[in-house]
Structure 1
Amino acid sequence: MVLLFYTAVGLVAAVFGSLVGLGGGIIIVPALVYLGPLFVGKEIPVAIAVGTSLAVLIFTALSSTLAFIKQRSVDFRSALLFFLTSGPGSLLGAYITQFVDTRSFQLYFGFFMLLMAALLIAKGYLKPLKLRWSITRTYTDASGTTHTYGYSLIPALAIGLIVGFISGLFGIGGGSLFVPAMVLLFGYPPHVATATSMFVIFLSAIAGTAMHLRLGEVDLWMVLGLAPSALIGGWLGARIAGKLSGNRLLWVLRITFVIVALRMIWEGLSG
């Protein structure tokens, strides 16, 4: 039963996470906290859930990134720029988790999930802003189509820092912030933004996990249980992302975010 639980959580989280560039941690953390006692047979502390989720994220993001590389949709130059600040930000966020109590975490995470749901809903209706940036990039994808987009150094580094911090603090990938910012602010094509985001998530997850390991906040047995299906889910999500719009899956994810967010906020307020 425990192995089946880990397999299901790792697979579902990785597929959804890879499909929309989230990373999947936003599903793993609530699953471990709320369903862990039922299937694992013990309470899983929030800090352990966050650290373990971030460790599993390494496997999800690696599998997804390799699939996106084959599709030639990863902009490595932009990704490395974002990682300059998202890496340190992830370390800082992971370090701060030890000072956040369970009730406060539930409140913060709940409101954060509501924000993510709003961004996922808005993502389908908002159009990229027509802004002029100091750096212009052109990228040719596997189909031979050339895309033009741009950014400025300071805004790009600031977004990397914020996303990295949130990633380390909540044990999630941060793609739910990266992707909308890249698409709406900088004009990235959605598939390039998703793929590039997953590569940044992979690098940031390594940095954040290192800090969580140092703090003793990673359950390696849980990682071993979740990682195999996360590898498969990351690959599968990337394949689906390359072929389907995934709009129905996105709506399921949006509704799930709202339900879990409201529950976490309620328990945070009443705890």
Structure 2
Amino acid sequence: MWNILIENSNLLLALLAAGAGAGIAAGMFGVGGGVIIVPALYFTLSSLGYGETAMHVSVGTSLATIIATSVRSVMSHHSKGAVDWRILKEWAPCIMLGALGGSFLASIISGRALTIFFGSIALLLAAQLIFGRPTWRLSDDVPRGPVSWAISTIIGICSSLMGIGGGVFGVTTLVLFGRPIHQAIGTSAGFGAAIGLPAALGYAYSGGSVENLPPYSMGYLSLPGFVLIALMTTTLAPLGARIAHGMNGGLLRRVFGVLLILTALNMLRKVIFG
């Protein structure tokens, strides 16, 4: 037992640190922590010799941890009246279908392509959050019917490919449809469970026959990663939510955007320059 812990101490410490940062980020930004978990796991697994599968395992494990984080985070925001449950109920089915489809799409994409996708999309979304004006709107309210089904499906697919809980896409989308930043964050926090469950199952299944996986992995899902990160994120998500509701909305948008830019640049630097 002790030998196993010592041999994998670097990985275990990285998982705990990623979970702590992800928990606070999840509560603050409604992002499920994936924007921190995926890069942290990716760099850790790559340095330990799992380069071929590092990105897929990082994404799959992140999606699994997001389930618990999402539930804890959305309840914290609900206590402050910042969750639109109508949107959650209407969007959840299509988000789940999109997330499941995205997990199987990822199995045929190379780790390099998956990393570039993550970084590129994150940069675009960050630019909108930092430079976009509060008056920019696609409409005055969130659409319903076929348009909302299409939007929620795309959110599910893209979030599954990036290993994030829907907050990155959900916050941006809801803000563009006229929702205040705090409500956009609170509502998007609930997308995580709808994305994480089907997507994590898909990653576990699609990676079942892959070699060079980290120890105690089930397909592209690291079981130690799931347990340790989920423990840290669920513990610290309420702290992040309290920090968010004590911040000005404009400042919160910019902080969220800067976090995305730093994450994206790190990912792209790693995959392009090695």
Say yes or no: TM over 0.5: yes
1:218 alignment counterpart: 221
Where do 1:46-85 residues align within 5 Å? Answer: 46-85=55-94
User: Secondary structure, in 3 states, of the residue corresponding to 2:131?
Assistant: helix
Cα distance between partner residues in 2 of 1:93 and 1:22: 18
Tell me how far 1:155 sits from its aligned partner: 2.2
Task: Return the offset for 1:260.
Answer: 3.9
In the alignment, which of 107, 131, 144 is matched to residue 139 of structure 2? 131
Do residues 120 (structure 1) and 101 (structure 2) align? no
Inter-CA distance 37–237: structure 2 relative to 1 (3 Å threshold): same
For the residue of structure 2 that corresponds to 1:22, the secondary structure is coil
Q: Distance in 2 between matches of 1:56 and 1:230?
A: 8
Q: Taking structure 1 as reference, are residues 119 and 174 closer, same or farther at Cα in structure 2, changes over 3 Å only?
A: farther
- Show structure 1 runs of 4+ deviating over 4 A: 246-253
Q: How much is the aligned-residue C-alpha RMSD, in angstroms?
A: 2.4
Q: Distance in 1 between matches of 2:200 and 2:94?
A: 16
Contact 1:120–1:176 (CA<8 Å) still a contact in 2?
A: no
More displaced stretch, 55-64 vs 7-16 = 7-16
Q: Partners in 1 of 2:266 and 2:175 — Cα distance?
A: 30
Find the counterpart in structure 2 of residue 136 from structure 1. none
CA contact (8 A) 1:119 1:176 kept: no
Distance of aligned partners of 1:213 and 1:121 in 2 relative to their CA distance in 1, 3 Å threshold: same
Distance 2:128 2:168 in 1: 8
The 1-side partners of 2:138 and 2:21 are apart by 36
Q: 1:253 to 1:130 in 2, by over 3 A?
A: closer
Return the offset for 1:161.
Answer: 0.8
8 Å CA contact 1:10, 1:229 repeated in 2: yes
Work out the CA distance in 2 between the residues paired with 1:130 and 1:218: 37
Q: 2:89 and 2:27 mapped to 1: Cα distance?
A: 19
Assess, with a 3 A threshold, how the Cα gap between structure 1 residues 199 and 27 changes in structure 2: closer, same or farther. Answer: same
More displaced 10-residue stretch of structure 1: 220-229 or 202-211: 202-211
Equivalent residue, structure 2, for 1:135: none
Tell me the matched-pair count: 251
Equivalent residues of 1:54, 1:205 under 8 A apart = yes
Q: State whether structure 2 residue 268 is matched by structure 1 residue 265.
A: yes
Instruction: Quickly say closer, same or farther: Cα 1:180–1:255, change in 2 above 3 A.
Output: closer
Question: Where in structure 2 are the equivalents of 1:90-169 lying within 5 Å?
Answer: 90-122=99-131, 125-129=133-137, 131=139, 149-169=141-161
Residue of structure 2 in register with 1:30 after alignment: 39
Report the TM-score when normalising by structure 1.
0.82
Q: Relative to 1, partners in 2 of residues 1:129 and 1:77: Cα closer, same or farther, differing over 3 Å?
A: same
Greater displacement, 164-173 / 260-269: 260-269
The 3 A distance-change label for structure 1 pair 244 and 127 is same
Alignment of 1:230-249 (within 5 A): 230-245=233-248
> Could you tell me how far 1:259 is from its partner in structure 2?
3.9
1:194 aligns with 2:197: no
Q: Which runs of 5+ in 2 are unaligned?
A: 1-8, 207-218
* Equivalent-residue separation in structure 2 for 1:23 and 1:57 (angstroms): 5
| Contact in 1 for aligned 2:88/2:187 (Cα 8 Å) | yes
1:265, distance to aligned residue in structure 2 (A)? 2.9
Matches of 2:92 and 2:149, distance apart in 1: 8
The change in CA–CA distance for 1:179 and 1:35 in structure 2 (over 3 A counts) is same
SS at match of 2:58: helix
| 8 Å CA contact retained: 1:103, 1:267 | no
In 1, Cα distance between the equivalents of 2:220 and 2:269? 25
Aligned to 2:3: none
8 Å CA contact 1:9–1:31 kept in 2: the answer is: yes
Amino acid at match of 1:127: T
The equivalent position to 2:170 in structure 1, one of 178, 198, 203, is 178
Counterpart of 2:232 (choices 229, 245, 255) is 229
Gap runs ≥5 in structure 1: 133-148
1:4 and 2:18 correspond: no
Distance in 2, matches of 1:14 and 1:246, equals 20
Is the 8 Å Cα contact of residues 91 and 148 (structure 2) preserved in structure 1? Answer: yes
